[in-house]
Amino acid sequence: MHYFEYHHGELLAEKVPVKKIVEEVGTPVYIYSAATLRRHLQVFSEAFSDIPHLICYSVKANSNLAILKLLGKLGAGADIVSGGELYRALKAGIPPEKIVFSGVGKTEREMEEALSAGILMFNVESLGELEALRRVAQKIGKPAPFSIRVNPNVDPKTHPYISTGLKKNKFGLPEEVAFEAYRKAKDDPFLHPLGIDCHIGSQLTEISPFTEALRRLKELYQRLLAEGFELRYLDLGGGLGIVYGNEEPPPPAEYAEALKQELRDLSCTLILEPGRVIAGNAGILVTRVLYVKSNPPSPGEKEGKNFVIVDAGMNDLIRPAFYQAYHRILPVREISGEETIVADVVGPICESGDFLAKERTLPPISPGDLLAVFSAGAYGFVMSSNYNSRPRAAEVLVDGERFFVVRKRETYEDLVRLETIPEEV
Ligand SMILES: Cc1ncc(COP(=O)(O)O)c(C=O)c1O
Ligand SMILES: N[C@@H](CCCC[NH3+])C(=O)O
């Protein structure tokens, strides 16, 4: 299901006036739909409405302040992984008591900032981190609420780079080690065990790895209750997949049903940390075609090679280069006729890995055409960089009849702002 439907040159969820936006801010530009973001959060949240739950939107998926504010206003909390994300979440008005802090490499400074801010809890990923958290808590004289992130060694059946719940991944602690860590923390005045956490991976398209992980978490939760711990939260992380091409991920309601079944005899608040499923299909990247190049076939070959060269590169959207990810691409205009071409859609960066699509069947494309790259709302702008000294794209949020430039395009001056040229060199 794609939430922007292509129709007569406009991408609709609410009418997204792509051409008008491009006239104002140029290309490449990320365009997000407020209506779609709201709907995604509501559908997800409603699926859990009959049990105690907290949705902590995973800020890393798309951390634009306007989007955080929009989701926060609908009741979302935040899953953060850095001091920078804490700063953003608070700035966008997300209440600290709805923030959970994950990540294997939290620094003591970041812990101090989060503890002072009064976040709900830390998802602790190693014994060393638990000791550091204790030190911080003692220093500022405030017990640290925490969960241990368990690594349940469950195969999420996703791309290896975004699998996080296998023993070979750096995340979390095995159940037995976690159990011992809870025991050690039990009577510590500066450590306050509040729950158990896990996150097994991203872009999961099957339910069974989630239920398997939840079963393991539940067992540990019950063991800890039996030991006298007063836990309240079970955090299953994020990870629900979306449609990019021909994937068939379960809809949120089905996913929620399976989790609720698994939890039926347990009294706790379920925390979920969805990112991609909220933001992924609420955004597109719009890029302009600069050139179209056709290389003739080599001797013995039937076909030549076509390249559609666009003004967005791997620095703008790295997912195709990094994960060989598929993103649907369509021209922002009416498509007439049956004629097609097969081409690589490539960017201006000096790397052969700089592509948005390989061997893609497209309607005929001309220089000047606008192309919409779909499903770019999550892990799009946030993973962009200034490689090749390219200013990062603008971000625009469409809300009903209006649109807002929620992040300006960077300028060359922005690129050098933090640099100094020492006299001596
Ligand atoms: C700890 C944690 N929570 C939540 C998420 C969000 O995942 P997704 O965007 O797949 O929902 C991630 C990213 O995979 C993560 O590392
Ligand atoms: N960046 C990844 C998802 C990473 C999830 C973070 N734990 C992607 O684009 O698919």
- Residue 424 is assigned to a structural domain of this protein: no
Q: Which CA distances in Å does 54 have to 21, 49, 98, 232, 264? A: 35, 10, 8, 12, 17
Query: Do 319 and 271 share a structural domain?
Result: no
Q: What is the distance in A from the centroid of ligand 1 to the CA of 225?
A: 27
What ligand has the least distance to the C-alpha of 199? 1
Query: Do 210 and 232 share a structural domain?
Result: yes
The set of residues, in sequence order, having a beta carbon less than 8 Å from that of 85 and lying 6+ positions away, is 59, 60, 63, 78
Banded model confidence at residue 276, pLDDT cuts 50, 70, 90: very high
CATH code of residue 318: 2.40.37.10
Total number of domains constituting the chain: 2
- Residue 365 is assigned to a structural domain of this protein: yes
Residues belonging to the binding site are: 239, 273-276, 319, 323, 351, 379
* Among 34-48, 146-160, 319-333, the least confident range: 146-160
The set of residues, in sequence order, having a beta carbon less than 8 Å from that of 269 and lying 6+ positions away, is 52, 53, 54, 232, 233, 234
Banded model confidence at residue 10, pLDDT cuts 50, 70, 90: low
Q: Which of 229, 257, 277 is the last residue of a domain?
A: 277
| Parent domain of 230 | 34-277
Query: Do 44 and 15 share a structural domain?
Result: no
Residue 411 falls in which region: left (phi positive, over 0), alpha (psi -120 to 50) or beta: beta
Give the pLDDT confidence of 103-161 residue by residue, as tens digits.
Answer: 999 999 999 999 999 999 999 999 999 999 999 999 999 999 999 999 988 888 888 77
CATH code of residue 114: 3.20.20.10
Query: Do 207 and 141 share a structural domain?
Result: yes
Q: Who wins on pLDDT, 2 or 231?
A: 231
Query: Do 258 and 315 share a structural domain?
Result: no
- Residue 40 is assigned to a structural domain of this protein: yes
Indicate whether residue 202 lines ligand 1 (CB < 6 A): yes
Banded model confidence at residue 1, pLDDT cuts 50, 70, 90: very low
Average pLDDT of the chain, as a whole number: 94
Query: Do 50 and 10 share a structural domain?
Result: no
Q: Which of 262, 277, 292 is the last residue of a domain?
A: 277
Residues belonging to the binding site for pyridoxal 5'-phosphate are: 239, 273-276, 379
- Provide the pLDDT for residue 6: 57
Banded model confidence at residue 4, pLDDT cuts 50, 70, 90: low
- Residue 425 is assigned to a structural domain of this protein: no
* Among 16-20, 113-117, 317-321, 371-375, the least confident range: 16-20
- Residue 325 is assigned to a structural domain of this protein: yes
Q: What is the distance in A from the centroid of ligand 1 to the CA of 378?
A: 11
Give the pLDDT confidence of 12-38 residue by residue, as tens digits.
Answer: 566 788 999 999 999 999 999 999 999
Give the pLDDT confidence of 397-418 residue by residue, as tens digits.
Answer: 999 989 999 999 999 999 999 9
Tokens 């976040």 locate to 119
Indicate whether residue 102 lines ligand 1 (CB < 6 A): yes
Task: Kindly state the average pLDDT of the residues 166-185.
Answer: 90
Query: Do 191 and 337 share a structural domain?
Result: no
Query: Do 411 and 340 share a structural domain?
Result: yes
Active site residue ranges = 350
Q: Who wins on pLDDT, 388 or 17?
A: 388
- Residue 423 is assigned to a structural domain of this protein: no
The set of residues, in sequence order, having a beta carbon less than 8 Å from that of 47 and lying 6+ positions away, is 252, 253, 255, 256, 257
Which residues make beta-bridge pairs with 121?
100
- Provide the pLDDT for residue 154: 87
Q: Which of 257, 277, 297 is the last residue of a domain?
A: 277
- Residue 422 is assigned to a structural domain of this protein: no
Indicate whether residue 172 lines ligand 1 (CB < 6 A): no
- Percent of the chain scoring above 90 in pLDDT: 88
**Would the pLDDT of 2 be above 50?**
no
Q: What is the distance in A from the centroid of ligand 1 to the CA of 139?
A: 31
Query: Do 308 and 402 share a structural domain?
Result: yes
Query: Do 328 and 262 share a structural domain?
Result: no
Query: Do 172 and 44 share a structural domain?
Result: yes
- Residue 145 is assigned to a structural domain of this protein: yes
Query: Do 93 and 19 share a structural domain?
Result: no
* Among 120-124, 166-170, 366-370, the least confident range: 166-170
